[in-house]
């Protein structure tokens, strides 16, 4: 597909990673090609790209943990911003998450980007939540299957 939304594929990795590096959103600790491929397989069809002239100029990743939908890595090339690409990618991933049964979508914005992004998301129906995100980084375990999925009554991950 050219000139619009397309499903992100494993073969898009180099272009996607280059865009994320260009906009300063990657790499994050623990996010590498193996993480990225696992994320694509856990939420099929919810990671999207925008292509123009065959090149990836925008991305968004959607995920559903069974309780809330999440938006990650909404990025548009600086040369293509202000043309509606981010809005169209966001709307497309929202539709996919809603079709999967999601009733609430969360996203995180870095504090250094609040001024430039809160207005963007607010105009699209997002509102600040009365929570503060906390995190704990865990070391990678050897021999963990990347296709592991936890949900329901038991985790199918076998180390």
Q: What is the DSSP string of 77-129?
A: -GGGTTSSHHHHHHHHHHHHHHHTT---EEE---GGGHHHHHHHHHTTT----
Which range among 6-20, 72-86, 101-115 shows the weakest confidence by mean pLDDT? 101-115
- The C-alpha torsion from 112 through 6 and 100 to 117, rounded to 10°, is 20
CATH fold of 4-155? Aminopeptidase (3.40.630)
pLDDT higher at 82 or 27: 82
Average per-residue pLDDT in the chain? 87
Average pLDDT of the residues in 62-70: 94
pTM score, whole prediction = 0.83
Q: Check whether 123 has a pLDDT greater than 70.
A: yes
Residue ranges per domain, the chain? 4-155
């Amino acid at each position: 597909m050219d000139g619009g939304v397309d499903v992100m594929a494993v073969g898009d990795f180099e272009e996607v990673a280059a865009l994320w590096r260009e906009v300063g959103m990657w790499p994050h600790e623990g996010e590498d090609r193996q993480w990225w491929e696992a994320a694509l397989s856990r939420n099929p069809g919810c990671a999207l790209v925008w292509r123009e002239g065959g090149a990836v100029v925008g991305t968004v990743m959607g995920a559903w943990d069974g309780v809330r939908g999440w938006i990650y890595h909404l990025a548009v090339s600086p040369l293509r911003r202000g043309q509606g690409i981010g809005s169209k990618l966001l709307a497309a991933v929202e539709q996919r998450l809603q079709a999967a049964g999601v009733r609430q979508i969360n996203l995180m914005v870095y504090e250094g980007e609040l001024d430039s992004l809160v207005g963007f998301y607010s105009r699209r129906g997002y509102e600040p939540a009365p929570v503060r995100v906390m995190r704990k980084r865990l070391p990678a375990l050897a021999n963990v299957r990347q296709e592991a999925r936890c949900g329901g009554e038991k985790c199918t991950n076998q180390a």
